[in-house]
Structure 1
Amino acid sequence: MPPLSNVQQRDIDSVFHPYTPLHKLSETGTLVIDHGKGVFIYDTQGNEYIEGMSGLWCAGLGFGDEELIDAATEQLRALPYYHLFAARGTEPAIELAEKLKELAPVPISKVFYTSSGSEANDTQVKLAWYYNNALGRPEKKKIISRQKAYHGVTIMAASLTGLGPNHKGFDLPVDGVLHAECPHFYRNGLEGETEEEFTARMANSLRALIEREGPETIAAMIAEPVMGAGGVIVPPKGYFPAIKPILDEHDIMLIDDEVINGFCRTGNWWGAETHDMVPTTMSVAKQLTSAYAPLGAVMVPDDIYQAFVDYTSRLGTFGHGFTYGGHPLGCALGVKAIEIYQKRDILSHVRALAPLFERRLTGLTEHPLVGEARFSGLVGGLELVADKATKRAFDPSHGVGAKVSSLIEKRGAILRPLGDTIAMCPPMIIKEDELNALFDRLEGALDEAEGWVEKEGLRG
């Protein structure tokens, strides 16, 4: 390894990095990003990369968008901060809430602001508890999530997350969180089972979980339309239409986590529309502002909000909120981002590029390292396997996904390894030639990784 640069050493000396093998930092160093423009980012050494993950699934309009920069500057000059506590309001918070209500795929009455997707999903649980207390059902509090789900990193959101690294060492998950089976047909389908039969089995398994736990103890189920950090897992045919009647039968709310899926990413405004999901409430963040400022939100229907109104008349106030929830900068950027999505017709652009994205991604299933390609709109994943015929995975200790990611980086592109799944989520403004360049670099990295796998004898 070359010696660390001054800025890398300063970084390691002072910054506590999330989602990072901390014990390796002094050897590997860090990639310090200096600036970005369009779909490209540039490190402090001047190297250019196609940012194939939109940062963390969030910079849908890319980097350096002048309209967003102008909107932020204008808002900072007018009102750099205010809060929504104690019946205060700001025009950006009002306007953004109005826009979200108009865009929502189901009737929404009110928008509650947070600073992030984790806070939004954490709030969803508190609201579900509060709602059932309001209705005199104090025992109806458990939350169903799913194995391989990702819903954030606060104590409750990380408990909802169905990924081992988010639990190990943190004494998680907390009590009251249930994890249903992961609806991943490629990995969890039985031999000879059709996708429709798999969906029916997943629905029956959910019903059995509810009946085993007692529906009178379960408040809600939370689900991403497409499961992001768990491996870009696209639901099997008919999955949400199959589970919704079961939830309705047992009076269990369905919380739609749109934090990654929302705002045109899957080829519709909402992942729920793409995958036939009819939610009770919704969580949004990330592309809400195209990541130009932190902001999240929870969207609730009128019957639930009215239950809150009635309950607070007994309690005296609604005792929940965040200092930066509804921050005027974030809300102004949310308003502008939605305006840009609409006037530039980003939705049509995503739909126009989706066939190329699908063709290039599925074409990689011919590669000896690739077991499955998964996609929805402009989000996708490649699952790497040791044996294509049997779907046998590599030993996780080999770090094959991480190796492919590092090889892609050397070719001038950023993608994210989720174990041995390579995730792709490019800015939605990406052009056809840029998307082809991204795939060309990925193909080159896969070819080099195949040579490495063979040389090291990693197939076992």
Structure 2
Amino acid sequence: MYAETGSQWNVAELEDAAHRHLISPAEEMSKLGTSGGRPLFTSADGIYIRDSHGRTLIDGPGGMWCTQVGYNSQPIADAIAAQALRICYNSPWYSINGPASELARRIAAFAPGDLDHVFFTTGGSSAVDSALRFMQFYNNVLGRPDKKAIICRIDGYHGSTHLTAACSGRAGNRPNFDLALDNVSFISAPNVFRRPRGMSEEAFLDMLVAEFEERVETLGPENVGAFLAEPLLASGGILIPPKGYHRRILEICRRHDILYISDEVVTGFGRCGHWFASEEVFDIVPDIITFAKGVTSGYVPLGGFVISDAVLARVSGENARGSFYTNGYTYSGHPVSCAAALANIDIIEEKGLLAHVREIAPYFQEEIRKLGELPLIGDARGTGLVACVECVTDPDAEEATDFDKEVALRVDRYCYEGGLIVRPIGSMCVLSPALIITREQIDDMMAILRGSIVRVQDELKAEGRW
């Protein structure tokens, strides 16, 4: 079945196999086993991807926020192959390997502050899960068994393990799953666009900070172990907090000895023009930074967290009290994945992609903001090479309506027909292209997106629905 016909896969057989046997993430169960669902992609190069019908499309979401250096990188492929032939696996429980050791050194070198030690996992969910488990371990070793509460945000997303899913405030991820945990507490999303009517951004910031401080007091500072936060809420709709938000929250965390975990699974490795966004973009040095996605540009799975020496010092050496941080995975520090990450970092450095993002991102954001002038778009926002436009059909509605979501899906469909993949999240169309994107490719992307939005506007008016 998985044989090639000339240079092409047997597409019909592969699609049949998927329909008969494959369960995909976020599977709509009423359509399980039916045709006409997700497209089959067959090849890719740079920022472009091709489907089984021969269409070449701009990959607007960059895979899933992760294809930093683009598709079809020979150096990464060579690094993967060479390491697989050298040593494809070692057990992390009783041995180490060269790529993991070197990758830890390199990540520590560009992490902010004293974040100097790295723990590797298999992806973003396991990275965040491991960081939260470290918080539990840490407070147990320190003799604070009750200091385990985790404060998270509505509309945040942190993963698909039981613990990380319970910490994820996106409503769409929660139905039909048992995710309620007594020690997880949610506060408001820093959604500037949806702030209370008539409230200034400065007043909104004060409200958010006051809510966090009140929640800490309500739970009891002696019971709160961590604040878990993406620098910007990615899957929640590219929500950029008001300026100063993270620093003011961090100050409260420091005052109450609460670990600040910055979830940079999306924003790390160049997405915002820096290796990590926490310090350079959002002005904080957290206790822990989680990462995944862009660390290998999506070529193979890898994730992890990098942690402060000051935090580690409290539970290591003479302070260890005989403890073991026994959390781990069969594929922690996998040599092939780490070799891919090292090659990926080399490419980012050699091609100057961090500087390229900082140079081209203002143009990307300017073009996104221009789309906000269209009548159907209520807000256009972003930072670095991540952005979204939010469809709003009723300006008086306080939150996105089902019709807004239907409209966004229609925009998504027309974009695909026009040669652009966007990621529809509720009423929003999200873009996070590869870091190698050029000004001309941004123009192509925006032309397709604009044309699709205008087409939907015209159709809605003709249908008398808007």
What interval of TM-score do these two structures reach, taking the shorter chain for normalisation? Answer: over 0.9
Q: Which residue of 1 aligns with 2:159?
A: 152
1:393 and 2:429 aligned: no
- CA–CA separation in structure 2 for the residues paired with 1:389 and 1:365: 17
Structure 1 residue 264, shift from structure 2 partner: 1.5
Q: Which residue of 1 aligns with 2:4?
A: none
Q: Which residue of 2 aligns with 1:101?
A: 108
Structure 1 residue 148, shift from structure 2 partner: 0.5
Structure 1 residue 327, shift from structure 2 partner: 0.3
Q: Which residue of 2 aligns with 1:64?
A: 72
The one-letter code of the counterpart of 2:189 is: C
2:261 aligned residue (255, 260, 265):
255
Question: Any conservation in 2 of the 1:415–1:424 contact (CA below 8 Å)?
Answer: yes
Deviates more, 1:170-179 or 1:21-30: 21-30
- CA–CA separation in structure 2 for the residues paired with 1:399 and 1:298: 37
The one-letter code of the counterpart of 2:348 is: Y
Question: Any conservation in 2 of the 1:167–1:173 contact (CA below 8 Å)?
Answer: no
Deviates more, 1:250-259 or 1:18-27: 18-27
Q: Which residue of 2 aligns with 1:11?
A: 18
SS in 2 for 1:50: strand
- CA 1:243 to 1:314, structure 2 compared with 1: closer, same or farther past 3 Å? closer
Which string of whole-angstrom CA distances, capped at 9 and with x for unpartnered residues, describes residues 79-104 of structure 1? Answer: 11112212x11110000000010010
Structure 1 residue 315, shift from structure 2 partner: 4.6
Q: Which residue of 2 aligns with 1:91?
A: 98
TM-score, with structure 2 as normaliser: 0.93
- CA 1:397 to 1:371, structure 2 compared with 1: closer, same or farther past 3 Å? closer
The one-letter code of the counterpart of 1:76 is: A
Question: Any conservation in 2 of the 1:398–1:458 contact (CA below 8 Å)?
Answer: no
- CA–CA separation in structure 2 for the residues paired with 1:444 and 1:173: 43
1:228 and 2:234 aligned: yes
Q: Which residue of 2 aligns with 1:296?
A: 303
Q: Which residue of 2 aligns with 1:47?
A: 55
Q: Report matched runs for 1:140-179 at 5 Å.
A: 140-179=147-186
Aligned length: 454
Q: Report matched runs for 1:175-324 at 5 Å.
A: 175-187=182-194, 189-272=195-278, 273-309=280-316, 314-315=321-322, 317-324=324-331
Structure 1 residue 397, shift from structure 2 partner: 8.2
The two structures, once aligned, show a CA RMSD in angstroms of 1.9
TM-score, with structure 1 as normaliser: 0.94
Structure 1 residue 5, shift from structure 2 partner: 4.9
- CA–CA separation in structure 2 for the residues paired with 1:225 and 1:173: 24
- CA 1:396 to 1:215, structure 2 compared with 1: closer, same or farther past 3 Å? farther
- CA 1:378 to 1:27, structure 2 compared with 1: closer, same or farther past 3 Å? same
Which string of whole-angstrom CA distances, capped at 9 and with x for unpartnered residues, describes residues 270-289 of structure 1? Answer: 22121112211110100001
Which string of whole-angstrom CA distances, capped at 9 and with x for unpartnered residues, describes residues 101-148 of structure 1? Answer: 001012123111100100010111110000000110000001111010
Question: Any conservation in 1 of the 2:76–2:343 contact (CA below 8 Å)?
Answer: yes
Structure 1 residue 151, shift from structure 2 partner: 0.5
SS in 1 for 2:115: coil
Question: Any conservation in 2 of the 1:195–1:237 contact (CA below 8 Å)?
Answer: no
- CA 1:15 to 1:380, structure 2 compared with 1: closer, same or farther past 3 Å? same
1:135 and 2:142 aligned: yes
Question: Any conservation in 1 of the 2:360–2:439 contact (CA below 8 Å)?
Answer: yes
The one-letter code of the counterpart of 1:440 is: A
Q: Which residue of 2 aligns with 1:411?
A: 418
- CA–CA separation in structure 2 for the residues paired with 1:374 and 1:398: 18
- CA 1:98 to 1:381, structure 2 compared with 1: closer, same or farther past 3 Å? same
Which string of whole-angstrom CA distances, capped at 9 and with x for unpartnered residues, describes residues 176-214 of structure 1? Answer: 111111111110x23332211211111001001111111
- CA 1:186 to 1:390, structure 2 compared with 1: closer, same or farther past 3 Å? same
Deviates more, 1:13-22 or 1:109-118: 13-22
- CA 1:412 to 1:281, structure 2 compared with 1: closer, same or farther past 3 Å? same
- CA 1:285 to 1:115, structure 2 compared with 1: closer, same or farther past 3 Å? same
- CA–CA separation in structure 2 for the residues paired with 1:308 and 1:114: 21
- CA 1:409 to 1:141, structure 2 compared with 1: closer, same or farther past 3 Å? same
Deviates more, 1:72-81 or 1:26-35: 26-35
Question: Any conservation in 2 of the 1:199–1:242 contact (CA below 8 Å)?
Answer: no
- CA 1:320 to 1:412, structure 2 compared with 1: closer, same or farther past 3 Å? same
SS in 2 for 1:373: strand
